[in-house]
Amino acid sequence: MTSALLALTLGALAAPPAAPATHPMTDEERASLFGGWATALASGDRDAAAAALLAIVRDPTKAEAHGEAWGRLADLYMQLGYEMAAVGAWGKAFALDGPRNAASLATAFELAATVHDDRPIAEAVGKNVGIPVEGETRNDLAYTAARTQLDRGEVGLAVAVLALGDPGAPGYEDVAMMKGIVLAQQSRYDEAVEALQIAQATGVQNSRDQAFADLAALNLGRAYYGAGSYGLAITSYAAVSRDSPHWLDAQFERAWSHFRGNDINGALAMLFNHDTPFFTEDYHPEADLLRAYSLFMMCKFTDATAEINAFQERYEPMNAQLAGISMTPQEAYAEVVAFVNEQPHQLPDWILHPFEGDPRLAEAQLAVAHADKELARVDALSPELAEVARKLVENERAEITRIEGERVLDRVADAREELSSMLAGIEITRLDLLNLEAQMYQRASATGHLDYGDRVGQLKELRKRKTGFHVWPFQGEYWADELGWFVFDARPDCPESMARGEE
């Protein structure tokens, strides 16, 4: 596999059938219709076999047989070594006649993995989930169909499709993972947690790699966070390995869990990772704002003001950079490919950093490369086969670059909107900070002292709590192996009630 309304019937999810002929085709009529193909194939004349199939596909009066004809064309392309053309033909076959092509679905999924592109098949099964398959192929169908529904924003239908998965067959861990993600999107967090725990356990049982374990831990942390179980969320985020491309995101989301659990020091410790020289070129304005607000909640007015000033100084020029960006999806795709291959490009690095090591983009590049190789030798086919193959592959190549390019442009648009909103609201945060500072001094004037807490006692308590660890103060040097191990034990500069945002 490529990374609800449960009451709905499968019939409601299935694609409408092809337009029927004047009467349903009998088995004898179908056999007669495909007789020319069968005779040509038996004699080894693949060109004649292809011509017979294309004649059926191009005849609108034979619409009932179009799905079967496309399936046989896919088989022919696969035999000839034109895998991407075969995947495209199978996409049409499953969309037009899923049941009659059901026996080929497992092979089609395997071939799609070979060309690093299952989009045509995913589109087809997303519209027609009633294909009769079992076991691992059933899980492949459920996963890819649900992904298609999610791309369309049909979250409820995605949950319904995922119910088709087979828990006893290989690949169910991907179905369970997707189910947990979708349920979390519906704010059904308890159900999401259950599904993601199943995904974790099944992944271990089926010996899935660390990348799967990291993704499961990340999504489980998000489900726990949504459910308000911040301690469990922290534990799950902490399970994301240091080598994972999701590690820094996990640290940020873990910081929010600490913050929401009234552990401001814990939030600052997680956010300190983002402020180290290893990530200063990355784009993470939310982390910078959360750090400023955490300091604000602890009445660290000087530090919070410095963070706000630094935020404006850093992100106002970046926001200005976004204003002039205008390009097509194909141009954006070329830009991100140039970036990941360390070639000259126009888009800012900080916009493109998330695509570095992104498995989906890596798959897209491999698919485009496969398409280019196939197109380079397509003229070796008969003219009719070459024409159809060229159209299938060129269309798919264009679709891949369009979709991936739009992901880049979506990131540009999201960053533009996000930064404009944050920069517009930063002055309000500054006013809030001044207001809280005024409150603190008003309380101090009434009580006669500022309550800073026990400074020395907190430091001693840190060493007591960290039994089995060596604790030393930060001395201004940054080491990669220290990332994730920073601990803050800063005292609030205001009474405890104000530090928690209470009145």
Of 62-66, 268-272, 400-404, the poorest mean pLDDT is in 268-272
In sequence order, what DSSP letters do the residues of 120-142 get, joined into one string?
A: HHHHHHHH-TT----HHHHHHHH
Q: Where are the alpha helices (DSSP H) in 186-300?
A: 189-205, 210-227, 230-238, 247-260, 264-272, 285-297
Q: Which CATH number is 1-19+32-162's, of 3.30.420.40, 1.10.10.60, 1.10.490.10, 1.25.40.10?
A: 1.25.40.10
Q: How many CB atoms lie within 10 A of CB 465?
A: 11
Under 8 Å between Cβ of 121 and 144: yes
Section 403-410 average pLDDT:
96
Spatial contact of 197 and 177, defined as CB atoms under 8 Å apart? no
Per-residue pLDDT band at 375 (split at 50, 70, 90) = very high
- Tell me which amino acid residue 283 is: Y
- Alpha carbon of residue 413 to chain centroid: 17
Three-state DSSP string of 294-321: HHHHCCCHHHHHHHHHHHHHHHHHHHHH
Task: Give the model confidence (pLDDT) of 171-204 as tens digits.
Answer: 999 999 999 999 999 999 999 999 999 999 999 9
| Torsional sign, CA 388, 390, 393, 395 | negative
- DSSP code at position 472: -
Note whether 306 and 296 are within 8 A (CB).
no
pLDDT at residue number 265: 87
The helix or strand, by DSSP H or E, that contains position 452, with its residue range, turns out to be none
What is the pLDDT confidence band of residue 460, given thresholds at 50, 70 and 90?
Answer: low
pTM across the whole model? 0.81
> Per-residue pLDDT tens for 411-457?
999 999 999 998 988 777 776 666 666 665 565 555 554 454 444 45
Q: Which of 346, 340, 356 is nearest to 326 (CA)?
A: 346
Q: Which of 199, 260, 272 is nearest to 232 (CA)?
A: 260
Q: How many CB atoms lie within 10 A of CB 354?
A: 17
Q: Is-contact 146 161, C-beta < 8 A?
A: yes
Higher pLDDT, 500 or 308: 308
Compute the distance between CA of residue 172 and CA of residue 176 in angstroms, rounded to an integer: 6
Domain with CATH 1.25.40.10 in the chain: 1-19+32-162
Per mean pLDDT, which of 122-131, 137-146, 330-339, 439-448 is the most reliable? 330-339
Instruction: Please determine, for residue 41, whether its predicted confidence score (pLDDT) is greater than 70.
Output: yes
